[in-house]
Amino acid sequence: MSVFGGVFRQSSARLFSTVLLLSHAGTCARTRMHAVPKLRELDRWTEKRGVFGVYDNIGILGDFKAHPKDLIRGPVWLRGFSGNELQRLIRKKRMVGGRMLTEDKHSLDKRISFLYRRFNRYGKHR
Amino acid sequence: PRDFSPQFISSVSGESALPSNLRLPPNLIGVAPQKRASPSGSDLPVLRRCEADIPAHLAPAQTWLESLGSRDSEPLGVVDLHPDVFSVPLRLDILHAVEVWQRNFKRISHAKVKSRAEVSGGGRKPWNQKGSGRARHGSIRSPLWRGGGVAHGPRGPSSYYYMLPMKVRVQGLKIALTAKLAQDYLHIVDSLEIPTPDPHYLLDLVKHRQWGDSILIVDVGDEFPQNILKATEDMKTVNIIPAIGLNVHSMLKHESLVLTLEAVKFLEKKLLWHDVRYVPLYPFKLPYSDLP
């Protein structure tokens, strides 16, 4: 009997506290309006921004002679390819390794063996 | 929404509604352009019917056919548009997915930092393991040291390439066209002939007809009339592209879209084929006996 009475008294106190919180209007965070930084002035209509995305549907609208991945400008081993670091480095070694500079090739080989060991020998995912 | 005008409720009656520290975005559409009469109840003839068969339970969407010949010319007629391209249900999630895909699939980030193996130096143990009283270290280029390599930094040029299914991209185009038509931002034109190569003529026409701030003009084929090419050459917000270059991002960026009749025919043919095609056994770029 007394246990139940205590429980009810506790729950009613909590009820009152939530009611008080809900009725409190406004926020405690004070925003310093004079220190808000200005937005960067950007020209949204430069040549690049105005025609961005044109020819992205060249496959479906152009008889499938070209693929959107042919539009990507970048390193040869990354056009139309995505993968984790080890996959990217292996692909780079296969495609471009023959003409890399010696120190870069050495760092690439070291990184590949390090990542191979890390992914396949230690940790939960192997 | 096009009929938006800022309405602010002030607690003190009788004062002006706008607060003093209000900052309005420059592209806010304050003045709603006058709505044009709907073409369904007009006397002008239907100048173009859809080539493809329309399902029996759907009716073609209709718009005015206009002309760029002179500033004050009236609409020439009414044009029928296929409902499966210009009246599809508006799936904003597909539109968002296609827009995000367009932004990201071309992205190659060149951010790269040197790891402890790549920073020069750092092969020798700086001091003995025991006896010097300092903390134990193996190289001066470990990530703990100032000037040392970064442990988990961005590694090498990486790409964000992925492809959405073909039908999703096609549906995105259809939804974008439907949205432009539904919001009165689509204009069909018989051809792109204009009398002068003067950019002011185009600007004047656009302003007079209340087409919007930015226009995307689409036509089929490699050849465009010289006048319109010269007029749009130096204009930033009026851009002309071939129909093969149509995409969701450009349609969303430019406020209104101007299509020629050939462009409408081309788009309908290309976009409707995906509703009736078979699953590809091999990529479409390889020859099929029944595809042209």
What interface predicted TM-score (ipTM) does this complex get? 0.82
The CA angle B230-B232-B236, to the nearest 5 degrees, is 140
- Backbone angles phi and psi of B201, in degrees to 5: -60, -45
With beta carbons under 8 A apart, name residues in chain B contacting A80.
161
Quote the tokens at residue B213: 């701030």
**Which residue type occupies A61?**
L
pLDDT band at B37 (very low <50, low <70, confident <90, very high): confident
**Closest chain A C-alpha to B86 CA, distance in angstroms:** 16
**Given 3.30.1860.10, 3.40.710.10, 3.40.1370.10, 1.10.1040.10, which CATH number is that of B42-105+165-276?**
3.40.1370.10
CB contact under 8 A, A55 and B21: no
Tokens of B162: 């992925």
Residue B115 has, within 13 A of its CA and on its CB side, a CA count of 14
Q: What is the pLDDT of residue B110?
A: 97
B52-to-A58, B177, B239, B269 alpha-carbon distances in Å? 22, 17, 29, 8
Chain B residues touching residue A58 (CB < 8 angstroms): 244-245
d(CA B61, CA B58): 9
Residues in chain B: 292
At residue A4, the pLDDT reads 47
Q: How far apart are CA A42 and CA A121, in angstroms?
A: 49
Q: What mean pLDDT is reported for chain B? A: 91
Helix H or strand E encompassing B46: strand B46-48
* Among B190, B191, B172, residue whose Cα is nearest residue B251: B172
pLDDT number for residue A91 = 97
pLDDT of residue A27: 72
- Of B33, B45, B37, nearest to B5 by C-alpha is B33
Does A69 contact B at CB distance below 8 Å? yes
- Residue B23: phi and psi, rounded to 5, are -120, 115
Question: For the residues B197-222, what does the mean pLDDT come to?
Answer: 93
Are the beta carbons of B253 and A46 separated by less than 8 Å? no
Please check whether residue B215 is in contact with residue B207, taking contact to mean a CB–CB distance below 8 angstroms: no
- Exposure letters A64-79 (e unless 16+ CB within 10 A, then b): beebbeebbebbebbb
Residue A41 confidence (pLDDT): 92
* Contact (CB<8Å) A50/B239: yes
**In the Cβ-directed half-sphere of B274, how many Cα atoms lie within 13 Å?**
22
- Domain spans of chain B, in order of start: 42-105+165-276
Of A11 and B194, the structure prediction assigns the larger pLDDT to B194
Q: Does A74 touch chain B (CB under 8 A)?
A: yes
d(CA B86, CA B80): 10
Rg, chain A, Cα only = 30
Q: How far apart are CA A89 and CA A74, in angstroms?
A: 15
| Contact criterion met (CB below 8 Å) for A81 and B159 | yes
Residue of B nearest to A74 (CA): B108
Say whether residue B196 is in contact with chain A using an 8 A CB cutoff.
Answer: no
For residue A107, give the chain B residue with the closest CA.
Answer: B118
> Which regions of chain A are under pLDDT 70?
1-24
Amino acid code (one letter) for A5: G
pLDDT tens-digit profile of B120-166?
999 999 999 999 999 999 999 999 999 999 999 999 899 999 999 99
Distance of CA B212 to the CA centre of its chain: 16
Distance of CA B176 to the CA centre of its chain: 8
Q: What is the pLDDT of residue B24?
A: 77
Chain B residues near residue A55 by CB distance under 8 angstroms: 244-245, 247
Nearest residue in chain A measured CA to CA from B238: A50
Q: What is the pLDDT of residues B245-266, one digit of tens each?
A: 999 999 999 999 999 999 999 9
B138 and A53 in contact (C-beta within 8 Å)? no
- Measured between CA atoms, how close is B16 to chain A, in angstroms? 22
How many whole angstroms separate alpha carbon B272 and alpha carbon B87?
Answer: 13
Q: How large a percentage of chain B has pLDDT more than 90?
A: 80
pLDDT at A7: 47
Cα(B270)–Cα(B244) distance, integer angstroms: 10
Cβ contacts of residue A19 below 8 Å, gap of 6+? none
Q: What is the pLDDT of residues B60-107, one digit of tens each?
A: 999 999 999 999 999 999 999 999 999 999 999 999 999 999 999 999
Q: Nearest CB to A53: which of B159, B244, B247?
A: B247
Cβ–Cβ contact A38 with B under 8 A: no
3-state secondary structure of B217: strand
Tell me if B187 sits within 8 A of B255, measured CB to CB.
no
Cβ separation of B247 and A56 shorter than 8 Å?
yes
Q: Is A6 on the interface with B (CB under 8 A)?
A: no
Q: Which residues on chain A are in Cβ contact (under 8 Å) with B218?
A: none
Rounded Cα distance, B178 and B58, in Å: 15
DSSP A35-49: GPPPPP---TTSHHH
Nearest to A57 among B173, B253, B285 (CB): B173
In angstroms, rounded to a whole number, what is the distance separating the alpha carbons of residues B188 and B258?
6
Closest residue by Cα to residue A55 from A37, A40, A73, A43: A73
Residues of A in contact with B236 (CB under 8 A): 45-46, 50
Whether A112 has its CB under 8 Å from any CB of chain B: the answer is no
**Subunit contact A56:B162, Cβ cutoff 8 A:** no
Nearest residue of chain B to residue A41 (CA atoms): B26
Residues of chain A with C-beta less than 8 angstroms from the C-beta of B241? 51, 54
**pLDDT score, position B155:** 95
State both tokens at A92: 């780079």
